[in-house]
């Protein structure tokens, strides 16, 4: 049985409330490995796998508060297009990667753009979403 501190390998399929698949480790051909209880996974996922056994398959839903949190309206901001390279192509829904003025990595989704400015959403793309996972335990190390 999986307990806090165990290193585990699991295959999973993640879906949104409407059934849209947002991730699938089997499609990628590689299970995910993590140490239970160390914060490597979202809280609700970490909690749900505890108590599972080798080969067990379980489906559970993680509410947004135990996943990527609620959408924070203050994380949606407008920037001048001059902060991007001159040849940058702005695509609504596209992801941009960069660094903050303090040197921290930053990621955002392009919400809209006009002649002089671009609106970026710095929320995690899955913020505000309840996530359903189907998980299969492949390996439990330390059991």
- The pLDDT assigned to 100 comes to 76
Domains of the chain: 7-69+126-141 (3.10.50.40), 73-121 (2.40.10.330)
Note the pLDDT tens digit of each residue in 27-69: 999 999 999 999 999 999 999 999 999 999 999 999 999 999 9
Question: What is the pLDDT at residue 143?
Answer: 59
Q: What is the pTM assigned to this prediction?
A: 0.81
Contacts for 64 with CB less than 8 Å, ≥ 6 apart: 70, 127, 128, 129, 130, 131
d(CA 105, CA 49): 30
């Amino acid at each position: 049985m999986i307990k806090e501190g165990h290193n585990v390998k699991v295959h999973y399929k993640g879906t949104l409330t409407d059934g849209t698949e947002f991730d699938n480790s089997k499609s990628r051909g590689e299970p995910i490995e993590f140490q239970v209880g160390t914060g490597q996974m979202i809280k609700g996922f970490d909690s749900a796998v505890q108590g599972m056994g080798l080969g067990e398959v379980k489906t559970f839903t993680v509410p947004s508060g135990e996943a990527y949190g609620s959408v924070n309206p203050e994380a949606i901001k407008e920037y001048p297009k001059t902060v991007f390279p001159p040849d940058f192509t702005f695509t609504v829904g596209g992801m941009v990667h960069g660094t903050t003025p303090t040197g921290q990595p930053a990621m955002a989704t392009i919400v809209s753009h006009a002649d002089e400015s671009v609106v970026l959403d710095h929320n995690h793309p899955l913020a505000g979403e309840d996530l359903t996972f189907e998980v299969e335990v492949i390996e439990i190390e330390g059991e």
